[in-house]
Every structure is written in structure tokens, then in C-alpha cells.
Structure 1
Amino acid sequence: MSLTLSSAQTIVATALAEARSRKAKPLAVIVLDAGGHPVAFAREDGASLFRHDIARAKAMGALGMGDDTRVLAERAKGNPAFFQSVSVAVGGNIAFSPGGVLIRHQREVIGAVGISGDTGDCDELCALAGLHAAGFNLENAK
């Protein structure tokens, strides 16, 4: 299965609706396909200048390292020199904060969503809401 524009738009719309229900700060949301190409993006009114770049770095980091950014952030705590080197090697296209989540269909990675604007925990919860609404990562749902 590939990531469609319709699915990506569902992820974005639901993530933003979740953010509003949580009274989150203004967010930027991006959905990338497995090759790192943008499929859908939105930036809420009032989201600060770098939110798009940070959201993209979260999604790219998850894709490039093969894990959600929550996991990467935990791993980086134990080996900061390595992860600083990774950041340099990939030209800064990685962010070590929750909110970058791989998109899986039947455990196969087909893309990633990145969200930035509120706390990492809130960003990640909004991403997961979007993924579940679009029918992805359901095997990981609790």
C-alpha cells in the first residue's frame, strides 16, 4: 500500500482537530512518503516561523533512522556525541523530540508524519490521532 494524498490530508486534518481539542499552541504538520517527499502540509495561523522546518526534520529523522523521534530522543540521551554527528551528517534533517512518527501499514513503513508547535508529547498525540483516523499504525494502538 502506498500513502495517498487523501490519507495524508486525513492525517493532517485530524491532527489539527486533535490539537484544537487539546488547546495546543499553533502547529505545523507535514506528511512525507517513504522516500521523504512531501504529500501534505499545513501550518496553522500563528505557528512560528521554524515550525515547518522542525516538523519536517522530525518526519525525516524518523524515516532516516527507522524509528519514531520519541525513541530517537531517548537513544540520543545515552550517546549524544553519536547523535550530534548524525545531525551534522544529515544536514540537520533530524530532530530529537517526540512528534515524528513513522506511518506503517501492516508493519511496513510507508511514510512519516512530523508535527511541531506544542510540547513533544502533545505533538506526538496529535500525530497518532491523525494516523489512526487514516487507518494506519492500528496494530500499535493501545
Structure 2
Amino acid sequence: MPHASPAGFRHGLTLAAARTIADATLAKGRELGLAPLTVVVLDGAGKLKAAYREDGASLAREDIAWGKANGCLAMGLAGRELARRSQAMAGFMNALSDLTGGRAVPVPGGVLVKDDQGVVLGAVGVSGDASDKDEVCAVAGIRAANLVPETGDPLA
């Protein structure tokens, strides 16, 4: 049952949407036969909405997934754009990682979640397989929640 929010406070990414994103992300990974995945869904304030770690996922996957999502929110840019900037500005990206306590991982698999008006509601980070494949799963999860994924490149 939804709770009323205080006047002027906008929740953005709902728990129901975060669960849909996480479930559909992992389902896409199973469909593709990927290695065990971990998915982290953060709201627009960078707060945890959902985190699932599949059986068999290695130990650091949650931190990597969180870093992919958090890096997107920290800079307002999706994973592919962060990866490009990391190549061009390695010193800055190293400083960003330090400033965020290691929670800025500038690679594909970090995807911004937007509404149909382009407002950023949160971000998804996926880790477990190759970054490009992680990203495919995140995009599928976001679309399953009827929201708009932003990877940093045009989507098909």
C-alpha cells in the first residue's frame, strides 16, 4: 500500500519499479545464459531501493554494481559516457573514485533511469559478466518497468 509523502517531497523511483527492474534484469541474464549477476537499483538521491545478488556471484559484485550506478548519479552521466571520460581524464576519474569512497565505476553496466519527460529517477548498476552484457540486462530491466534507460549511447 503506497504511503503519502510529505508536502513537496517527490519519491521518484518507486519500490515497485525498483523490484521490477531488478527482477527483469536478472531474468534477462538467465535468458542470455550469463554468469551470475548482481543488480543494484538506486533512487535519484543515491539511496538503495533494491539489491539482488544471484547465487554464485563473486564477492565484489555488489560493490562494483553499486559503483556503476552511483558513478552515474554522481556525475549525471551514464556508464558509456563515463567510460569515455575516464579515458580522456584519468586523473579526474581517479579523484572521483576517491571522493566517492570507491563507489564510482566508469564502465558500461551503469545506466540512468529516466521518466518519459527525461527526468532522472535513479540508476541501475549490474555486475557479473562482461560490462556490455551487464548493460543489456540493465536496459531490459528498466524497460520492463516502463521507464527510459540512458546508457550514454543511442539505444536501438
TM-score category, normalised to shorter length: over 0.9
- Percent sequence identity over aligned pairs: 46
Tell me which amino acid in the other structure corresponds to 2:55. D
Tell me which amino acid in the other structure corresponds to 1:114. G
Shift of 1:89: 1.9
Aligned to 1:126: 137
Aligned to 2:108: 98
Aligned to 1:116: 127
Structure 2-normalised TM-score?
Answer: 0.86
* Matched-pair contact (CA < 8 Å) for 2:39–2:53: yes
The structure in which a higher percent of residues are helix is 1
Shift of 1:65: 0.6
Aligned to 1:49: 59
Structure 1 residues 23-79: Cα deviation after superposition (integer angstroms, max 9, x where no partner): 110010011100111111100000000100110011100000101111101111011
Shift of 1:91: 1.6
* Matched-pair contact (CA < 8 Å) for 2:124–2:138: yes
* Matched-pair contact (CA < 8 Å) for 2:139–2:149: no
Aligned to 1:70: 80
Alignment gaps of 5+ in structure 1 = none
Say whether residues 1:135 and 2:153 are aligned partners: no
Shift of 1:96: 1.6
Q: Give the 4+ runs in structure 1 shifted more than 4 A.
A: 138-141
* Matched-pair contact (CA < 8 Å) for 2:25–2:140: yes
**Could you say which structure has the larger radius of gyration?**
2
From 1, 18, 23, give the equivalent of 1:8. Answer: 18
From 38, 42, 54, give the equivalent of 1:32. Answer: 42
Aligned to 1:81: 91
How many residue pairs match? The answer is 142
Structure 1-normalised TM-score?
Answer: 0.95
